[in-house]
Amino acid sequence: MVLFIAALGLSVVIGFIKTTWRYGNYVISDDHERIYIEKGVGNFISFSIPKHRVQAIIVEQTILKRMLGLASIKLISAGGFEEENQETSSLYPFMPKQEAYRVLHLILPDYRIEEHMKRFPLKVLWLKLLHPYYLTILSVIGLWIFQPGWLWIAAIVFVVSVLLRILDYWFTSYLREGNTVQIRKGGLTNETFVTHRERIQQITVKHTWIQRRFGVATLLFTNKAKPTHDTKIYGVSKEEAGTFFTWYQKNPTYRVRLEKMR
């Protein structure tokens, strides 16, 4: 127990040092055309992002950040970073959620986060629960071959898999308003994605045999980035999928793919 507490304390200290080294002295500013970010203590980094290249924003919250009321905000950009590093997409690494929303709206007023979104019907949860449990199957096979006495672990894997699917359903919601699309999903890590119709390069509409029986579909958005950024929303109604198709056609450069899966 003493060793466990010591290891936990050491990991916290190391995490604090790494975070301070990377994000200490964090300063963000902007003008009419660009966003400027400075960060780092030992390794100082300064870069800017052209506002017109921003394709979407992502608000990310782990369980710990949700408990502390914090959020991370990242930008999806079509190039234009002065530093070719995936990390440079981070706008706010961590700050109080409402304060992050307020500052984001000041810098990028077209990107407003809506807290109240449309939840999916309960049938989507049942559909998620009907999907094959591949990890549980692999656990059963592996334990049966190598450690038959530990087969009870497969039951734990199954229960965890079910809980994760329930959490994923509980935190998944969707909003399409005006020319804006907002998607929230995830269980352990909650992610909110916001983009505009003119920023979407392509949409893909998928529906499997069982999805057709439940009257739902999957929408996949593609935004221009390096590499391209794909965002999937599972469980939209077939009516909303059709309405979304018509809505997206108003984009003069639209590309749509329809996929029917067996």
Q: Tens of pLDDT along 24-79?
A: 677 788 888 888 887 777 677 777 888 888 899 999 998 888 888 888 888 888 76
Kindly state whether residue 77 falls inside one of the protein's structural domains.
yes
Domain total in the chain: 3
DSSP strand pairing (256-260 vs 200-207): parallel
Kindly state whether residue 68 falls inside one of the protein's structural domains.
yes
pLDDT value of residue 217: 93
Q: Looking at the structure, tell me whether residues 187 and 157 fall in a common domain.
A: no
Q: Looking at the structure, tell me whether residues 140 and 187 fall in a common domain.
A: no
Task: Check whether 129 has a pLDDT greater than 50.
Answer: yes
The residue-averaged pLDDT of 199-212 equals: 88
pLDDT value of residue 20: 64
Q: Looking at the structure, tell me whether residues 163 and 180 fall in a common domain.
A: no
What average pLDDT does the structure give for the chain? 83
Q: Looking at the structure, tell me whether residues 48 and 98 fall in a common domain.
A: yes
Tell me if 154 sits within 8 A of 140, measured CB to CB. Answer: yes
Tell me if 117 sits within 8 A of 182, measured CB to CB. Answer: yes
Q: Looking at the structure, tell me whether residues 95 and 68 fall in a common domain.
A: yes
pLDDT value of residue 216: 94
Kindly state whether residue 116 falls inside one of the protein's structural domains.
no
Q: Looking at the structure, tell me whether residues 64 and 143 fall in a common domain.
A: no
**Residue 215: both structure tokens together:** 């009257």
Q: Looking at the structure, tell me whether residues 158 and 72 fall in a common domain.
A: no
CATH number of the domain within which 185 lies: 2.30.29.30
Stated pTM of the model? 0.82
**Residue 124: both structure tokens together:** 């989507």
Task: Check whether 83 has a pLDDT greater than 80.
Answer: no
Kindly state whether residue 180 falls inside one of the protein's structural domains.
yes
pLDDT, tens digit, 9 for 90 and up, residues 6-15: 766 777 667 6
Q: Looking at the structure, tell me whether residues 156 and 178 fall in a common domain.
A: no
Q: Looking at the structure, tell me whether residues 162 and 192 fall in a common domain.
A: no
Domain limits for position 220:
172-260
Task: Check whether 116 has a pLDDT greater than 90.
Answer: no
Kindly state whether residue 120 falls inside one of the protein's structural domains.
no
pLDDT, tens digit, 9 for 90 and up, residues 171-198: 999 999 989 999 999 888 889 999 999 8
**Is the model more confident about 45 or about 88?**
45
Q: Looking at the structure, tell me whether residues 150 and 233 fall in a common domain.
A: no
Q: Looking at the structure, tell me whether residues 96 and 6 fall in a common domain.
A: yes
Kindly state whether residue 78 falls inside one of the protein's structural domains.
yes
pLDDT value of residue 68: 85
Q: Looking at the structure, tell me whether residues 98 and 146 fall in a common domain.
A: no
